[in-house]
Amino acid sequence: MSEPTFRIKRVYDHPAPEDGFRVLVDRLWPRGLTKERAAADLWLKDAAPSTALRVEWHHDPGRFGEFADRYRTELESEPAVAELLDLARTHGVVTLLFSAHDPELNQAAVLRDYLREALATGRGRG
């Protein structure tokens, strides 16, 4: 099997075979989306930022750096990280699904980068 890969994708976009194992990483279910349309293999709420952090950030692009730093701190003690790393090792490709409008400034992008670094450095070996 090739190296584990993490991708991100808006949950509202059509599923594709290259998505691999699809994991919704939002704490709240996306508005107006059925479970069938989401086509998520897993909803991992605990991988999302805490409610307090999400509400405080409120998707303000000017505060994204601060949000990302604080979210990474949350991820350091989050068991969902190990679960995602194991899923990537098992399935090869894991696509992190998110509902935010911005394709770059969102929690899934921070989580993807965090997971890629964990794989590269050997952190989170289960």
Look at residue 7 and tell me whether its pLDDT is greater than 90. Answer: yes
Number of domains the chain contains: 1
**pLDDT at residue 50 in the model:** 95
pTM of the model: 0.93
The answer to whether residue 71 sits within a structural domain is: yes
What's the angle, vertex CA 83, arms to CA 81 and CA 85, rounded to 5? Answer: 70
The answer to whether residue 75 is domain-embedded is yes
Task: Report the pLDDT value the prediction gives residue 122, as an integer from 0 to 100.
Answer: 82
Assess whether pLDDT exceeds 80 at residue 14.
yes
Q: Does the residue 54 lie in any domain? A: yes
Q: What is the pLDDT of residues 52-84, one digit of tens each?
A: 999 998 888 899 999 999 999 999 999 999 999
| Inside any domain, residue 126 | no
- Concatenated DSSP letters for 52-120? HHHHHHTT-GGGHHHHHHHHHHHHTT-HHHHHHHHHHHHHSEEEEEE--S-SSSSHHHHHHHHHHHHHH
Rounded distance, CA 93 to CA 2, Å? 9
pLDDT of residue 104 exceeding 70, the answer is yes
Cβ neighbours of 96 (radius 10 Å): 25
Range of the domain at 25: 5-121
Give percent of the chain above pLDDT 70.
96
Q: Does a structural domain hold residue 55?
A: yes
Query: Band of the pLDDT at 124, cuts 50, 70, 90?
Result: low
> Is residue 112, in this structure, part of any structural domain at all?
yes
Q: Is residue 110 part of a domain?
A: yes
User: Residue 22 corresponds to which tokens in the numbers above?
Assistant: 């699809």
